[in-house]
Structure 1
């Protein structure tokens, strides 16, 4: 029954990862951040494969999920360092938009409690340029919201990684002990072939 509880927990963690990844994908689309959009898309596919592997007892899919989880953890650490301006990275760079546009995090202008004010000039009123608004104050700055997204992803991914490793180890032990004829092979008992 230990396999069932690890399997159920892995399925639950994959579902939680799927929900948080789709939420993150929506806000990255709103901010036109193309690198996170592509990586989130692959992350959603790998979560679905991991979920399928856990439901169908497919160890290869879970191994793919494990390998992707390592890359996903690295990506979230990179994004956290970017928003904290660590290691020569800058949150004002266009790395996440791949240099295609000057867009930035959606949370920069639309964070919780952010009050925006347009330019006072009457000539600019009809323009639809988002760069012409200034953010006066926010309850929580946008970089901290993005870092919180990364922290949630890191915590759920690390838990998923641990449970996936545990599930693979239990599943491989059960495969070794199964005879495929319906009998369970016990390596400690002597074989009774001719008796």
Structure 2
């Protein structure tokens, strides 16, 4: 297979998924969002299995990766709906923190161009409570950054799904044409009888 084959593209997309998921995992850890942390961890495992399957020509691992991508797409749609307050979901709920800690996106206070405004009273300035500071004038609000992360994951996943389907089909065609004696034969021609 050449360098621009579907297998190479699948390997490239898996690598890109690992990089973007690692970036997402770091910011989920900073925001104490425990549900996305666990889902991202399983995503790493399944993408590594898909990567291994593409490198080692193992279609079963790629099929597991394909099944995971269906769940991953659903998860990203759910998170997007949560941050956009669609379908009865609310970004202020504690769904992503599993009720363990206060749910806050790291981007809420640290987004691009966000400037914190200190409380009006001088006595409050010595307090270390992050809830007392308000954030004003962000270039891009935090929910749109989170949705942008989901959209990037969705685009990469959909491309990965298409290439993984093609690679599984290619691998199964190659497996059908392989003889136990190490010979390849064309599926339309009967294999040689070795008696």
What is the TM-score when the length of structure 1 is the normalising length? Answer: 0.94
Q: Any unmatched runs of 5+ in structure 2?
A: none
Give distance in 2, aligned partners of 1:103 and 1:59.
Answer: 39
Q: Deviations over 1:126-154 (max 9, x none)?
A: 32211111011111110000000000000
Give a deviation string over 1:127-184, Cα, whole Å, max 9, x none: 2211111011111110000000000000000100111110000000110011032211
Question: Which residue number corresponds to residue 149 of structure 2?
Answer: 149
The equivalent residue for 1:100 is 100
| Distance in 2 between residues matched to 1:4 and 1:168, nearest whole Å | 17
| 1:11 alignment counterpart | 11
The within-5 A match list for 1:18-97 is 18-97=18-97
After superposition, the CA RMSD in angstroms is 1.8
Matched, 1:163 2:178: no
The 3-state SS of whatever aligns with 1:125 is helix
- Name the SS for the 1:168 alignment partner: helix
Alpha carbons 1:3, 1:167 under 8 Å: kept: no
Distance 1:25 1:3 in 2: 30
Matched, 1:113 2:116: no
Q: Which residue of 2 is the match for residue 126 of structure 1?
A: 126
C-alpha distance in 1, partners of 2:175/2:3?
12
Segments of 4+ in structure 1 off by > 6 A?
none
> For structure 1, which segment, 178-187 or 23-32, has the greater mean C-alpha deviation from structure 2 after superposition?
178-187
Q: Give the count of matched residue pairs.
A: 195
Q: 1:187/1:60 Cα in 2 relative to 1: closer, same or farther (>3 Å)?
A: closer
| 2: CA distance, partners of 1:117 / 1:100 | 28
